C-alpha cells in the first residue's frame, strides 16, 4: 500500500466514505447539536423543540449534526486545551526518533500513518479506533464547556432584558435564587466538561503509546510505504550497540531451562530453544486466535529476554517473590542498551496481558512447555512430567489455546495407551 506524501489530509477524509467514517463526524455533531443547542433551547424556549417532531425536522437535525461534526473535526477543537500542543510535540518527537527523520517530516505523514493503521490488521484497527474514541470524547467535553459559556451569556442577557426563563417561573427561582440556580447549572456543565477532558487526555496518552508501538513494529514497511528516507546511525555506534546487546542476549543459548533440570533431566533445551518454538507457535496460531501475527511473533521473541540477565527463575526458586521486579529491571537495562524504550513496553504487554497478543503469547509460552514435556516423556519412559501440563492448563486464559492443549493431550494419551 503506497501513500503519496503530498496528499492533503482533507482528501483522506473525503475518500472511502463508509459507515464508521460517517459516524466519526455524525455522532460528535449530534452531541453538539443536542447538548450545546438543544439544552439552551429547552431551558429558554421549549416550544421550539416541537418543530423537530417531523421527518423534515429529524432530517434537518441529522444534517446539522453532520456539518457540526465535520467542522469540529476539521478545526480540531480538542487542540485548544492546555497541554495538548506540548503532548503533541512530544509524540511527534518520539515518532521521529523511531523513523530516524525530522519532526517536520513526521508532521507531514501523521494523517497517512493513521490511515495506514486503520487498514492494517486487528492491531492497527484497534489503535485507529482508540484514537477516534478519545477525539470524540474530547469533542464531547468541548460541547459541555461551550454550553456553560452559552448559559452564562443567556443568564446575563435575560437579566439585562428582564426576561424570566420558563424554568425559573416553574421552579420559582427568581431573583437571587435564580442567580444561584444558574450558577449551579453552569458549574455542573463545567465540571462535566472538565471530567471528560481529564479522562480523554489519559486515553490520548495511552493511544499515543499504542501508535508508537505500532510504528515500531511496522517501521520497515512504513519507511518504504511512506517514502521516508530514514537516517542511518553511524557504523561505529551500530557496532558498539550490537556487541553490547549480543554479549547479553547470546547467554540465552547456554541458559538451560531450570524446570527440566529440577526433574533430573539431562541435555535439556535452552531458553533460546524455548523462545524459538514459542515464536513458531505464534506465527502459526496467531491468525486462528484472531490476533496480529507480526506483533505476536515479536512479543514471543521478547517474552523471555530478561532471563539473559537474571536466569530462568522457576516456582521452586528462592527468588520467586522478586521475579517480576528483577525481570522488569533487566528488561529496562536491555532497553537502555539499545536506546529503545518501546521494547520494555512490548515486554510488559506479555507480562501483564494488556493486549490480545500479549495474552496469547503468555498462553503459548505455557502451551510450548506442555508440549515439550510430552517430548521428554516420550524419550524417557520412566519420568512423569504431567505436572507441567496440569500447571499450564490451569493458568491458560485464552479459550482457543486451552481447547487446543486439551485436544493435544487427549491425542497424545491415546497414542501412549495404544
Set out the domains of the chain in order of their start, with CATH numbers: 9-225 (no CATH), 235-417 (1.10.3210.10)
d(CA 174, CA 164): 8
One digit per residue, the tens of pLDDT, for the chain of length 418 reads 344 434 433 333 444 445 555 666 777 778 888 888 888 877 777 776 666 666 776 777 777 777 777 777 777 666 666 666 677 777 777 777 666 666 566 666 676 666 666 666 665 667 777 777 777 788 888 888 888 888 888 888 877 877 777 777 777 776 777 778 888 888 998 898 888 888 888 888 888 888 777 777 776 666 666 555 444 444 445 677 778 888 889 999 999 999 899 888 888 999 999 999 999 999 999 999 888 888 899 999 999 999 999 898 888 888 888 888 888 888 888 888 877 777 888 898 898 888 889 999 999 999 999 999 999 988 876 788 888 998 888 889 889 999 999 999 888 877 765 4
d(CA 368, CA 350): 15
> Given the C-alpha cell 489503535, which residue does it identify?
127
Judge whether 68 and 33 are in contact, CB under 8 Å. Answer: yes
d(CA 387, CA 389): 5
d(CA 226, CA 112): 8
Q: What pLDDT sits at residue 97?
A: 67
Which class for 391: exposed (0-12), middle (13-18), buried (19 or more C-beta within 10 A)? middle
CB atoms near residue 230 (< 10 Å): 14
Interacting residues of 407 by C-beta distance below 8 A, sequence separation 6+: none
Task: Supply the pTM of this predicted model.
Answer: 0.48
Interacting residues of 255 by C-beta distance below 8 A, sequence separation 6+: 270, 271, 272, 307, 308, 311, 312
Q: What is the pLDDT of residues 75-87, one digit of tens each?
A: 766 666 666 667 7
d(CA 334, CA 244): 9
Q: What is the pLDDT of residues 94-120, one digit of tens each?
A: 777 666 666 566 666 676 666 666 666
Outline where 45-83 has alpha helix (H). 55-75
Amino acid at each position: 500500500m503506497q501513500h503519496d506524501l503530498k496528499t492533503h489530509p482533507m482528501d483522506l477524509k473525503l475518500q472511502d466514505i463508509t459507515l464508521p467514517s460517517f459516524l466519526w463526524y455524525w455522532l460528535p455533531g449530534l452531541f453538539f447539536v443536542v447538548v450545546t443547542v438543544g439544552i439552551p433551547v429547552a431551558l429558554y424556549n421549549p416550544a421550539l423543540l416541537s418543530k423537530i417532531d417531523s421527518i423534515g425536522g429529524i432530517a434537518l437535525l441529522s444534517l446539522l449534526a453532520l456539518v457540526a461534526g465535520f467542522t469540529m473535526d476539521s478545526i480540531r477543537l480538542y487542540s485548544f486545551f492546555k497541554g495538548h500542543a506540548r503532548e503533541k510535540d512530544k509524540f511527534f518527537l518520539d515518532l521521529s526518533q523511531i523513523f530516524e527523520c525530522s519532526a517536520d517530516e513526521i508532521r507531514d505523514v501523521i494523517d497517512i500513518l493513521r490511515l495506514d493503521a486503520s487498514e492494517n490488521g486487528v492491531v492497527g484497527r484497534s489503535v485507529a479506533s482508540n484514537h477516534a474514541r478519545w477525539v470524540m470524547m474530547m469533542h464531547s467535553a468541548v460541547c459541555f464547556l461551550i454550553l456553560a459559556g452559552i448559559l452564562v451569556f443567556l443568564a446575563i442577557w435575560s437579566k439585562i432584558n428582564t426576561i424570566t426563563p420558563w424554568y425559573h417561573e416553574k421552579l420559582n427561582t427568581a431573583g437571587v435564587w435564580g442567580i444561584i440556580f444558574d450558577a449551579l447549572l453552569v458549574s455542573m456543565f463545567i465540571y462535566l466538561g472538565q471530567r471528560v477532558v481529564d479522562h480523554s487526555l489519559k486515553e490520548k496518552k495511552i493511544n499515543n503509546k499504542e501508535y508508537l508501538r505500532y510504528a515500531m513494529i511496522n517501521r520497515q514497511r512504513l519507511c518504504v510505504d511512506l517514502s521516508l528516507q530514514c537516517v542511518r546511525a553511524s557504523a561505529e555506534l551500530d557496532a558498539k550497540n550490537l556487541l553490547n546487546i549480543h554479549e547479553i542476549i547470546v547467554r540465552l543459548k547456554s541458559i538451560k531451562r531450570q524446570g527440566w533440570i529440577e526433574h533430573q533431566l539431562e541435555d535439556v533445551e535452552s531458553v533460546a530453544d524455548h523462545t524459538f518454538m514459542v515464536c513458531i507457535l505464534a506465527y502459526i496460531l496467531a491468525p486462528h486466535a484472531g490476533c496480529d501475527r507480526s506483533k505476536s511473533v515479536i512479543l514471543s521473541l521478547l517474552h523471555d529476554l530478561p532471563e539473559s540477565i537474571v536466569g530462568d527463575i522457576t516456582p521452586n526458586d528462592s527468588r520467586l517473590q522478586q521475579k517480576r521486579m528483577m525481570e522488569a529491571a533487566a528488561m529496562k537495562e536491555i532497553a537502555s542498551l539499545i536506546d529503545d524504550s518501546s521494547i520494555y513496553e512490548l515486554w510488559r504487554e506479555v507480562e501483564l496481558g494488556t493486549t490480545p497478543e500479549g495474552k496469547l503469547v503468555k498462553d503459548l509460552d505455557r502451551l510450548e512447555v506442555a508440549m515439550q514435556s510430552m517430548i521428554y516423556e516420550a524419550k524417557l519412559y520412566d519420568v512423569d512430567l504431567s505436572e507441567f501440563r496440569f500447571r499450564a492448563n490451569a493458568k491458560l486464559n485464552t479459550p482457543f489455546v486451552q481447547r487446543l492443549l486439551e485436544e493435544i493431550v487427549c491425542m497424545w494419551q491415546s497414542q501412549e495407551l495404544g
